[in-house]
Each structure stands twice: as C-alpha cells, then as structure tokens.
Amino acid sequence: MAIIATMKRIVSFITPVEKRAPVVKPLSKTINQDFLGDAIRDVLSIRKGLIVKAPMGCGKTTAIKNLLNDLGQQACFAMMTPREKLNRAMAKELGANFYKDVLSEPNRAKAKIMAQRVVGTLQFFRTLLNEFPDLKNQYQFVIMDESQSIATMLVDSVTQHQEEVLEATKQICHHAQHVIAMDAHAGGETDVLMKSLLNDEAPFRLINEAKPWRKINVDLLTGENYIARQHASDTLQIEAINTGKRIVICSSSASYCQSRYDVLSAMYPDKHIGVITAKNTHEAQALMEQPDLIQNYDVLILSPAVAIGISFSLKNHMHCCFGLFPNGRNMPDSDTAIQMLARLRSLIDNQWIICLDDQRAVYSHMPTIPEEIGQAVIKRFERTLFVTGLEQDLSHTSDQLITLYQTCEYNRRDNKNHYNRYFLQRLAEMDVQLQYRPIDQIVINNDSIQHTEKAKKTQQQHHEQAKTESHEIDSTRFKQLDKALIYHPETVSEEDKDSHAGFLFRQKYQLPEWEMSTEQKNHYLYLDAIHALEKCECREIMQADRAFIREISKHQLSSPISIISEQHNLLLLHKLLSYTNDYMDGTPYTHQSLRNGKLVKFVGRHYREIVALDVIDLPKQWKRKPALLMNLLLKKVGYTVKNSRKANGKRNKKGNCCFDYTFSAQAITEIEQLCQQRQQAQQTWRDTIVGQIICLEKRVSGTQKPRCNKLKPCF
C-alpha cells in the first residue's frame, strides 16, 4: 500500500496542472488611420518606450504637441532631432526653447530653466549634462524625431565623443517617464538605439499603415544608361515648363541641383526658380515659417537637405515632380530619396517622373552578417591594445555603440548594393501606381544638353576662380566667416564665400602669398584635381616607422576618440601601403609573381577586417588578379601604373587569344615635389599629428588658459 501511495504522489507531481496562461503584453500594434489622434496616448498608458512608424503628414507632431499641452507649462521634456532647421521649427511649434538660445544665454540660472523645455541635437544634451548634471532627473518625456537619422549620425565619424553622447542620452532616458522615437521608416537602427536607451527593454511599436500616396502616378524612365535617362528627364522638365506647369525637381546629388538651377535660370530668366541645398537652407526656413511663399515659385529644386529636417506644403500649387537619384558611396541611400518624394504627395497632376541610376554593386565586397563589422571593431581594438601595451576594457556603452554601428553600417552598404530594389520596394509599400516609360519614346532636347554642359563648365570655372582669384582675407576674418557659414550661412555673401574657399585652398597647400602667377594657379589646381595632398599623406603614413604608428595608436586610445573611429585603421593601412616599397623604383610585377606573395597572404589573413572596416576598396578579383590590388595601393601613394601585354599562346573559352600582363609604377613628378616641399617645411602628416598631441597635452596639463565657464557647442 505504501508503494502504491508513493507512486500516486509521483504521478501527481509529474502530471501538469492546468493553469491560466500568463498575459503577454503585445510588443506592436498596427493601425490604419489618416491621423494618429490618441493612438500614441493610448500606448503610453501601458509602456515607457514607444517607436512610432507612420507616414509623414499623419499628425505625429500634432499628437505630441497635444500630449505636452495637456501636461501644462510645468512639464519638462527634451526633444531631439538631427537637423538644425528641424530643431528650430519644432521648438517654435511646441512652444519650447531652441538649443542655441540656451547655449547663448549668459545667465546660468535662466539657461537651466530654459533647458527644461528644449529641442536640440544629441550632442547638445551631452554639453547640457556636463553643465547641469541634475537636469537628467527632471525630464518627463524624451522625444526623438527622425530617429533613423539620429541613430546614423550618432555613429558617424563627424560626431565627436560618441560614447559620452550616448551615455548622456541614456541617463536622460533612464529617468524619463516616457521615451518616444518617431520616423516614417523606423527600422533596425531605431530598434537598436531604443533598446540601448531603455536598458535592453524592448520598446512598443506603433505602426500606421495609412497610405496617402495611392493617387500618385509614377513614371519610371528605363533604357540605355543613367546619363541618357537624365537627359530624357531634363527634356521632360523643359516640356512641362513650356506648357505653363510649375514643377518640383528633387535629386540626391547637390551638384546636379545647382547645375540644373543654373541651366533653367539661363533658359527662363522670367521664371522664379528656387534651389534649396545644404548651403541655402534659409529659403527653406522661410517656406516653413510662411507656407504661402510657395506660390511665388515656378520651379523649385530640392537637394538632400530637404529629405530630413525640412518640411513645407506644396499642396495645390506644383503640378508634378521630377526625381533623379544617382547612387554612389557618398550619396544618400534609397530611404532618403523616398523621404524627399514622400513630402510631395499633394500635387495637381499627382505625378512623379523618376530616373534611377544603373544597378551596380557600389561595394564589391560585403560582410556576410552585421556582426562581422562589430567583431572587426573589437578585434582591431584588442590588437591596438596589444601592440601599445595598454590595458583597457570595453565599457557597456561602447559595446552598445558597436552594436548600433554594425547595424547602421551593414544596412547602409546593403542598401547601396541593392539601391534600385529597395527603392522600388518602398514604392510598392506606398501603393503608388507605377508604370515603366522607355526613353526611346522621348525626343531628347539637345539645347538642354548644351546648356547643361555649359553650366558645368561655368560652375567649375567659378570654383577655380574662388580658389585662386578671390579677395584676400586674413586669418581673423576667415575664422569669422567659418563660424558664420556654420551657424548663419544666409548672412554670408557670395564674395565672402569665395574668399573663404580661397583661404582654405592656400592653407591646404601652405601658400605664403595670396597673389599667384598663372603658372602657380595651374600647378596647384592640377594638384587639387588629382588629390595630390591625400596621396602625399598616404605616402607619409607608409614611410612612418611602426614605432611611431604604435605611439599614435596609444595616444588615440587615451584621448577621447570613439572606439569606432577610422583613425584606429592606421596600423592596418600602414602595413598595406608598405608592400608598395619594392615596386616604387619601377620593378615590374605580374599577377603570377604576386599570387603567392606577402601582400596576398596578408590580405587573406585580414580580409574580414579590411572589408568590414572598409580600410581600402579591394578589387573584386584581388586574389586571382593581385596586380590590381598593387595598382590600387601604388596609386594611393602617388604613382601611375603602366602595363604591357604579351600573348601567352593560350585560348579562352571563346577561342580568343590570352595575354600575360606586366605592370610597372612611375612616380608623378608634381606629387614628388609636393612631398619634398612638405618635408622641408616640416608640414608632413607626422608633424601635424605631433602638433595635435602637443596641443592636447597642454590643454590637459593646464598650461593653456581654460575656457570661460559658459555653455558652448561640443561640435
């Protein structure tokens, strides 16, 4: 009986008891509303962190404004955006303070009060907490608009003190009641950023699937190459203007925008044509503050500056939009192009005419997964520690920054390599009416092509004259103009802009005299055209002894430079460039002679790191044709490469004769002379680096006068 009782207890123990399933809070909610209304308020009642993915114009800002108004004037909030114009516009709309007004306020007590309701960049909040540490406990709401761009800019090389900026933002978000990130294309970058700010807590996602673009008809130009399609688009623009239509032209190329402005201004002097670029955003500011001004324009040309941070209404004024989107390493991605178009949904003809670049892999080598980029960053960090003999651990914030960086960088490169596919995918999600339009059905306007070529030449001549023939200014005036171009570009005249460019040109080549002879002008313009200074610096990095490179790396680790900074690539770049030493004297080399050499073996060992960190742009067939890699390295240090071929008696699959190629390097005389001048004047890369270290050590040791105790921008 005892055995039976024991067995019953065992059976009852292992038999599952029916229980109520735990209530799992949903992590996302999908709606389909033209206006968000109270959707944000409803989610915030159950969650601290919220990501709002909703199309432009559906009332995200209005919903936030109503939410803050309900809390009254005593509510403290911090709003973060990536662009100055957007910061200014948001501050005005929300009744908050613009961050530059806080920075310029001399009264510290008043500045602290102003900072309790403020709109600014992420870098500003690092500066703010350094001055007022207790403010981190006072913000009830933290709102990030254009969160995708905020995440990307945080890990961009132009952002200084990235770990400190992220840490300051984390502190503010940790004490806040609610953290909201908003973006029309909120993706993986926003997810990673929010997870870092919320101490690894998953945020709630509110997705609005409203599609206000259903009435838009999209003509996608097809056929031949991008240049031909661009000429076809230019022709259609002229036809539209000739029929009395008012048009919008948007492009991811700022140079095309400026060139098109010059062409159309020359062809139509009686038309009011406006162009908005990063250097001309005061027109955008005026349009944002006074939307009715749009009625004054017959043609409006928009550059990437409009994609993020500038928004104004074109409703019932412009007829159609022409979009031209070339793809390159330094060009915005397809999401930025879509954002430019998405703002133009209320056109009279409801028509977009799109010209995309030829599909190609911008990055010939890609990491397999995002984690490879993060692993390469950590490996480089550990190797630098080893060669410098330092001991340092990665902080949790640095680890989060690496995770964000690998996500942003991988997605950016992937977008570049599949630009057209992602662009068309976004169009499909917007539910527009897409049709393909072959350009062979369009009669190209040759006058437009001639005007375009003339405008390009005129623009190039203007740039050259600005560098060599502008009015003389001294260093004091240059510093004044430099600050004005950053903070108040609309106040700087074209003449002053040219003088600023001329001072930079002379400073770049260390020219003592402002006046130059015609021979000198041509000489230095040629050096500028072949990027001679960059090649000199690469050669100086290659010639530096390894001990000095180690000392530089050691100093960089001890100075406030981010772990993801490109400056940590010095050791790897120095080693790669050093393999050119054996061929600088003209010694010939072939694919066969290099195939089993030290360079190929070194790249093979460090392939993942070179690709993940984009140290150099490896040729696609670098392993099978290693001479192409050597050619690339020799060109980086200022050499030209000549090749000769000889038939080897073999035939390929098509029956054609095969050749063996022999390469040899030849120095560029002008670059040789420039390198010697820099060395004699002690203005080489090494001298510059040593000077920067000495200046930093003086600031740290206190031998220089400290700055006044006043809030200043940290960028």
Continuous H helices in 389-517: 396-417, 419-430, 446-468, 475-487, 494-508
Output the pTM of the full model.
0.86
Does any domain span residue 453? no
Q: Are residues 431 and 284 in the same domain?
A: yes
Tell me: pLDDT of 657 over 50.
yes
**Helix-strand-coil percent breakdown of the chain, rounded to 5?**
55, 15, 35
**Confidence check: pLDDT of 15 > 70:** no
Query: Cα separation of 215 and 433, whole Å?
Result: 7
What's the DSSP call for residue 697? H
Same domain flag for 587 and 551? yes
Q: According to the model, what pLDDT value does residue 684 have?
A: 84
Higher pLDDT, 603 or 100: 603
Q: 410 pLDDT exceeds 60?
A: yes
Give 502's Cβ-side CA count (13 Å radius). Answer: 23
**Token pair of 713, please?**
């921008």
pLDDT digits (tens, 9 = 90+) for 437-452: 999 989 888 888 888 8
Residue 60 falls inside a structural domain: yes
Kindly state whether residues 256 and 128 are assigned to the same domain: no
Q: Quick check: helix, strand or coil at residue 31?
A: strand
Residue type, 599: L
Q: State whether 516 and 540 are in the same domain.
A: no
The pLDDT tens digits of the residues spanning 491-535 come to: 888 899 999 999 999 988 888 888 888 898 999 999 999 999 999
At residue 17, the pLDDT reads: 40
Helix (H, G, I), strand (E, B) or coil at 235: helix
Domain endpoint, select from 380, 409, 441? 441
At residue 307, does pLDDT exceed 90? no
187, 335: one domain = no
**Per-residue confidence at 58, pLDDT binned at 50, 70, 90?**
confident
Cα end-to-end distance, the chain, whole Å? 83
Domain that holds residue 428: 217-359+418-441
How far is Cα 76 from Cα 135, in angstroms, rounded to an integer?
10
Instruction: Provide the b/e sequence for 253-286 (b: ≥16 CB within 10 Å).
Output: bbebbbbbbbbbeeeeeeeebbbbbebbbebbbe
Is 230 among the domain residues?
A: yes
What pLDDT, on the 0 to 100 scale, is given for residue 18?
A: 43
Q: What does the pLDDT read at residue 388?
A: 76
Instruction: Report CA-CA distances (Å) from 353 to 233, 299, 308, 339, 439.
Output: 8, 15, 21, 15, 12
Same domain, 125 and 140: yes
Amino acid at 503: F
In this prediction, residue 23 has a pLDDT band, given cuts at 50, 70 and 90, of very low
- Between 337 and 9, the more confident residue is 337
Look-up: residue for tokens 């100055």? 84
**CB distance 260 to 277 below 8 Å:** no
Q: Where are the extended beta strands (E) located within 184-284?
A: 204-208, 217-222, 247-251, 273-276
User: What distance in Å separates the CA atoms of residue 544 and residue 712, rounded to the nearest whole number?
Assistant: 37
Question: Is 297 inside any structural domain?
Answer: yes
Res 649: pLDDT: 62
157, 183, 208 - which closes a domain: 208
Looking up residue 230, the CATH number of its domain turns out to be 3.40.50.300
Could you tell me the pLDDT band of residue 4, with boundaries at 50, 70 and 90? very low
What's residue 712's pLDDT? Answer: 38
Asked whether residue 435 falls in the same domain as residue 466, the answer is: no
Give tens-digit pLDDT for 167-208. Answer: 999 999 999 999 999 998 888 999 999 999 998 888 999 998
271 and 178, same structural domain? no
Residue 375 makes CB contacts below 8 A (sequence gap 6+) with 608, 612
Q: How far apart are CA 620 and CA 643, in angstroms?
A: 19
Q: How far is residue 280's CA from residue 273's CA, in Å, rounded to a whole number? A: 13
Q: What is the DSSP letter of 294?
A: G
Question: What are the E-state strand segments in 77-225?
Answer: 77-80, 97-98, 117-120, 141-145, 178-183, 204-208, 217-222
| Residue in 17, 437, 32 with CA at minimum distance from that of residue 210 | 32
- Same domain, yes or no: 565 and 678: yes
**What's the pLDDT at 715?**
27
Q: How many domains does the chain have?
A: 4
How confident is the model over 262-274, as a mean pLDDT? 89
> Residue length, the chain?
715
Give 604's pLDDT tier (boundaries 50, 70, 90): very high
**If residue 595 lies in a helix (H) or strand (E), which one and from where to where?**
helix 591-595
Q: pLDDT (tens digit, 9 = 90+) per residue, 202-232?
A: 899 999 888 888 889 999 999 989 999 999 9
pLDDT for 282 equals 65
Q: In this structure, are 485 and 512 located in the same domain?
A: yes
Give yes or no for residue 578 having a pLDDT over 80: yes
Close Cβ partners of 250 (under 8 Å, ≥ 6 residues apart): 301, 302, 303, 306, 321, 322, 323, 324, 340, 341, 344
Average pLDDT, the chain: 84
Given a cut of 90, whether residue 312 has pLDDT beyond it is: no
Q: Compute the average pLDDT of residues 246-263.
A: 89
Question: In a 3-state reduction of DSSP, which class is residue 193?
Answer: helix
Give the pair of three-digit tokens for residue 422.
């992602």
- Residue 147 contacts residue 193 (beta carbons within 8 Å): yes
Same domain (yes/no): 228, 331: yes
* Comparison of pLDDT for 336 and 411, the residue scoring more: 411
The pLDDT score that the predictor gives to residue 217 is 94
Last residue of a domain, one of 441, 473, 499: 441
- In this predicted structure, the answer to whether residue 11 has a pLDDT above a threshold of 70 is no
Using DSSP, state whether 251 is helix, strand or coil.
Answer: strand
Q: Check residue 493 and give its pLDDT.
A: 87
DSSP assignment string, 40-102: HHHHHTT-SEEEEE--TTSSHHHHHHHHHHHH-TT--EEEE-S-HHHHHHHHHHHT-EEHHHH
Q: What is the pLDDT of residue 587?
A: 92
pLDDT of residue 404: 94
Name the E strands within 303-423: 320-325, 351-356
pLDDT at position 545: 84
CB 249 within 8 A of CB 276: no
Q: What is the pLDDT of residue 280?
A: 56
362-409 residue pLDDT tens: 999 999 999 999 999 998 888 888 877 777 788 889 999 999 999 999
Q: Do 128 and 171 form a contact (C-beta atoms < 8 A)?
A: no
pLDDT > 90? residue 699? no
| Residue 352 or residue 343, greater confidence | 352
Name beta bridge partners: 8. none
Q: Which of 266, 223, 685 is nearest to 444 (CA)?
A: 223
Task: Tell me, yes or no, whether 339 lies in a domain.
Answer: yes
Indicate the pLDDT class of residue 2, thresholds 50, 70 and 90.
Answer: very low
pLDDT at 555: 75
Comparing 157-166, 539-548, 553-562, 599-608, which segment has the lowest mean pLDDT?
553-562
Lowest mean pLDDT among 57-61, 466-470, 697-701: 697-701
pLDDT by residue (tens digit) across 64-103?
Answer: 888 888 877 778 999 998 877 778 878 888 888 999 889 8
142 plus 257 within the same structural domain: no
Instruction: Please indicate, yes or no, if residue 333 is contained in any of the structural domains.
Output: yes
Closest C-alpha to 118, from 106, 101, 133, 105: 101
Residue 516: per-residue pLDDT: 87
The reply to whether 690 falls in a domain is: no
Residue 312 inside a domain? The answer is yes
